[in-house]
């Protein structure tokens, strides 16, 4: 069955298509993302503008995805769309579009959780079956889930303050490295000295699996005022952030007896983070190229996982939710 996935949770209009084979494997057929640029001049996402841009672009993005896959709309056998968490007005555009499409085609509709999408983005690279541990490191989340059975998510740890991606963005901004912060820090770090600025790694030596990034942000601000070079700040901060993410996740995997660990979300695109995870004794799975930040293919992959697990289709009268925790235990 070919599944079309839609994500309009924030400022990216994403449509992707995957094929779920009878043996449970999945093939990625298309992934198209329209990244909104109107927000740049405001220094943050404007919810009203985001909704309007989704409305204006979604038809075109779907057409591009179908063309990339070499399909017509009647080849689609199921539709998945993000219902939350995210900006409600933005979510509603993709959700309503997806429901309308499913109804018009008379195929099942699956409402998807945005974080389940981020996690299943890694299914583009390896067959993903529970049990495994999942670290979602994105612009709004730094969450560790244990997945003991397909579709079951147990929250193991989370950030107590800022998300990892948020810290990359804020430190890039304060040190003048620009936006988006993640790629800017990553690039500047290659030219900097990671020993130049001493960062204390937060919450290490503790028994929990939580994270904290606001202390690193404050330390970065003080170092910046003290005259630290942006590339040295970037290299030093990146090393500290990568160390805490890798150490805490490794500890959690060992404590839960998990060998397979999914690391996904925008920050999972970070090269230093990937290298550090690859150097552990864990079987780490990352999303494929273009699937780390928000996209529709990851929602199609989450839909494929739901179908494979025999989950029933979603009712067509379900709404969008701004706040929707994934953990169900």
Question: Would you list which residues are annotated within the binding site for substrate?
Answer: 136-140, 169, 182, 270
Q: What residue numbers does the annotated binding site for Fe cation cover? A: 114, 118, 294
267 binds, among Fe ion, ligand ATP, none (CB under 5 to 8 A by kind): ligand ATP
Establish if 82 lies at the interface with Fe ion (CB under 5 A): no
- H or E element: which one contains 164? helix 164-174
Which residue lies nearer to ligand ATP by CB, 3 or 234? 234
Collapse the DSSP code of 217 into the 3-class scheme (helix H, G, I; strand E, B; otherwise coil) and give the result.
helix
Please enumerate in sequence order all residues whose Cβ is within 8 A of that of 40, keeping only pairs 6 or more positions apart, or say none: 179
Q: Token digits for 178?
A: 């620009």
Least Cβ distance, residue 169 to ligand ATP (angstroms): 5
Number of residues binding to ligand ATP, judged by CB under 6 A:
23
Q: Which is nearer to Fe ion, 90 or 216 (CB)?
A: 90
171 or 298: whose CB is closer to Fe ion?
298
- ∠ CA 193-292-269 to the nearest 5 degrees? 15
Considering the rule CB under 5 A, would residue 294 count as an interface residue with Fe ion? yes
- Indicate which of ligand ATP, Fe ion, none lies near residue 53 (CB less than 5 to 8 Å, by partner kind): none
**Does residue 12 bind Fe ion (CB under 5 A)?**
no
d(CA 224, CA 218): 10
Q: Does 265 bind ligand ATP (CB under 6 A)?
A: yes
Q: Biggest alpha carbon distance in the chain?
A: 63
The residue within the footprint of Fe ion, chosen from 138, 186, 270, 314 (CB under 5 A), is 138
**Near ligand ATP by CB under 6 A: residue from 5, 14, 108, 181:** 181
What contacts 24+ positions apart, CB below 8 Å, involve 146-155? 146/252, 146/256, 146/258, 147/119, 150/305, 150/308, 150/309, 151/305, 151/306, 151/309, 151/311, 152/328, 152/329, 153/116, 153/326, 153/327, 153/328, 153/329, 154/327, 154/328, 154/329, 155/325, 155/326, 155/327
Residues in 136-165 that interact with ligand ATP by CB under 6 A: 138-141, 165
Residue 196 burial (CB < 10 Å; 0-12/13-18/19+)? middle
State the binding partner of 250 from Fe ion, ligand ATP, none, CB within 5 to 8 A by kind. Answer: none
Total interface residues for Fe ion by CB under 5 A: 2
DSSP 259-284: -EEEEESGGGG-HHHHHHHHTSSSEE
Which span (12-20, 97-105, 125-133, 294-302) binds Fe ion, by CB under 5 A? 294-302
Q: Choosing among Fe ion, ligand ATP, none, which partner's interface includes residue 107 (Cβ < 5 to 8 Å by kind)?
A: none
CB of 177 to ligand ATP, least distance (A): 11
Nearer to Fe ion, 138 or 260 (CB): 138
In the complex, minimum distance from the CB of residue 90 to ligand ATP, in angstroms, rounded to a whole number: 11
Helix (H, G, I), strand (E, B) or coil at 157: strand
Nearer to Fe ion, 250 or 293 (CB): 293
Q: Is 13 in the site for Fe ion (CB under 5 A)?
A: no
Cα separation, 94 vs 83, in Å, equals 8
Q: Which helix (DSSP H) or strand (DSSP E) does residue 25 occupy?
A: none
- Hey, which residues between 82 and 121 contact ligand ATP (CB under 6 A)? 114, 118
Smaller CB separation from ligand ATP, 187 or 201: 187
Residue 279: CB atoms within 10 A of its CB come to 10
Residue 83 binding: pick among Fe ion, ligand ATP, none (C-beta 5-8 Å cut-off by kind): none
Spell out the alpha helix ranges (H) of 176-229.
181-189, 214-225
> What residue ranges bind ligand ATP (CB under 6 A)?
10, 114, 118, 138-141, 165-166, 168-169, 180-183, 186, 265-267, 269-270, 293-294
> What residue ranges bind Fe ion (CB under 5 A)?
138, 294
């Amino acid at each position: 069955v070919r599944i079309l996935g839609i994500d309009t949770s924030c400022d990216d209009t994403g449509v992707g298509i995957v094929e779920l084979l009878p043996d449970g494997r999945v093939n990625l057929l298309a992934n198209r993302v329209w990244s909104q640029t109107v927000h740049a001049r405001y220094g943050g996402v404007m919810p009203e503008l985001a909704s309007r841009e989704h409305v204006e672009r979604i038809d075109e993005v779907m057409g591009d995805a179908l063309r990339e896959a070499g399909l017509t709309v009647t080849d689609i056998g199921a539709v998945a769309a993000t219902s939350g968490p995210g900006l409600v007005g933005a979510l509603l555009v993709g959700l309503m579009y997806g429901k309308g499409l499913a109804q018009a085609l008379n195929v099942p509709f699956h409402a998807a959780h945005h974080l389940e999408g981020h996690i299943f983005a890694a299914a583009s690279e390896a067959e993903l079956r529970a049990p495994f541990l999942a670290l979602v490191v994105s612009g709004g989340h730094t969450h560790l889930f244990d997945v003991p059975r397909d579709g079951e998510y147990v929250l193991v740890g989370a950030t107590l303050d800022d998300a990892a991606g948020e810290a990359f963005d804020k430190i890039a901004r304060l040190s003048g490295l620009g936006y988006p912060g993640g790629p800017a820090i990553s690039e500047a770090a290659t030219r900097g000295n990671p020993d130049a600025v001493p960062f204390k790694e937060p919450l290490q030596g503790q028994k929990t699996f939580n994270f904290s990034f606001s202390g690193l942000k404050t330390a970065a601000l003080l170092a910046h005022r003290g005259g630290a070079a942006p590339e040295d700040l970037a290299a030093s901060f990146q090393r500290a952030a990568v160390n805490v993410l890798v150490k805490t996740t490794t500890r959690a995997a060992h404590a839960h007896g998990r060998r397979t660990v999914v690391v996904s979300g925008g920050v999972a695109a970070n090269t230093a983070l990937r290298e550090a995870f690859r150097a552990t004794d864990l079987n780490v799975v990352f999303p494929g190229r273009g699937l780390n930040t928000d996209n529709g293919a990851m929602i199609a992959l989450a839909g494929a996982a739901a179908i494979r697990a025999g989950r029933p289709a979603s009712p067509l009268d379900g709404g969008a939710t701004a706040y929707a925790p994934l953990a169900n235990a």
